[in-house]
Structure formats: structure tokens, C-alpha cells
Amino acid sequence: MNSYWAEKTGVLPANSGVNDESWIQGLPHIAEAVKVLNDPATRVVQMPYYLPEFNAITKTDMEPEFQKVLQGTLPAQNFPNAFAAKLTEAQASYRQRNGG
């Protein structure tokens, strides 16, 4: 059922057992995602959802900056640098508050 639903909606199937089905190759964005996820060199990054500031950083702080990148008014490299700095600061605050 997961395969059927994923094919009809164009999303990555949650069940990796369907990765070899023929319809996957017919949807390039799915085929590429499966390829990348199955690559041993791929490292999946866990987002720090536990940080109280996480939602504010991603929504309030960084969404407007991403729009500036898309509009060409902010250099692309400035975006990940600012995002990393904000997350690093939030992580330091979290550790300080929680003794880590």
C-alpha cells in the first residue's frame, strides 16, 4: 500500500522494500532520492528539534534570509553561515542551561 500511495502522490516511499519497483525510475526526483539515501557515503543529519530556539531560528530568522538568497539580494554562502551560527549559539545556550 505504501508503494501505491507513494507512486500516486509522488513522494518518497517510507518502506525501502519498494525501492526496486519500476515506477521509481519513472519519477526522477524519487529515483535520485533513493540513490542518495542508499549511498554508503550519505550521512543523514538529525536536526536539533530539541533546542527551544529551533523553530524561531528556522521560521522567523532564516526563512526571510532564504527568500533574499532566492531574490539574489543575499549571497548564497551567507545563508548557511548565518544558519550555522544561530544553531551553534542555540546549542551553546542549551548546554549551559542543561549542564552539558
* Rg of the chain taking only CA atoms, in angstroms: 18
**Integer Cα distance of 76 and 68 in angstroms:** 9
Q: Which residue segment(s) compose the domain that 89 sits in?
A: 54-98
**Integer Cα distance of 31 and 49 in angstroms:** 28
Averaged pLDDT, 28-43: 95
Q: Kindly indicate the confidence band of residue 83, based on its pLDDT and cuts at 50, 70 and 90.
A: very high
49 falls within a domain: no
Q: Which of 6, 20, 18, 16 is nearest to 37 (CA)?
A: 16
Are 6 and 13 in contact by the 8 Å Cβ rule? The answer is yes
Q: Kindly indicate the confidence band of residue 99, based on its pLDDT and cuts at 50, 70 and 90.
A: confident
68 falls within a domain: yes
**Integer Cα distance of 13 and 34 in angstroms:** 9
- As for how many domains the chain has, the answer is 2
Cell 500516486: give the residue.
Answer: 8
Q: Is the pLDDT confidence value at 61 over 90? A: yes
Cell 551560527: give the residue.
Answer: 85
